[in-house]
Amino acid sequence: MDLNEDGLVDFEDFVEFASFTEKAIKEQETESGKRASTMIIIERCKAGVTLKSINLNNLFQQFDGCGHAKAASATK
């Protein structure tokens, strides 16, 4: 998942992982005719951290999730 091998999973790494996973699930569903396994993602910011440039709710809405700026989740 850490594409640039810097020891961190940054936003670009996560997007690549999520896109790959979504494609793999759709292929599996097409081949089997059954719904694939579920992936649950939960994210929260460390208490006291101010992240004005990131809104987890907006990020997770792309995956039919919800929450607020500092904590959100999605089930796929």
- Tokens 């089997």 appear where? 32
Tens of pLDDT along 1-54?
Answer: 677 788 777 888 888 888 888 888 888 888 888 776 667 777 887 777 776 777
The amino acid sitting at 40 is I
DSSP assignment letter at 62: T
Specify the pLDDT at position 6: 80
pLDDT of residue 12: 83
Name residue 44's beta-bridge partners.
Answer: 71
pLDDT in tens, 55-67: 888 888 888 888 8
Residue 70 corresponds to which amino acid? K
In which order are the strands placed within the sheet that holds 71-75?
40-44, 71-75, 66-68
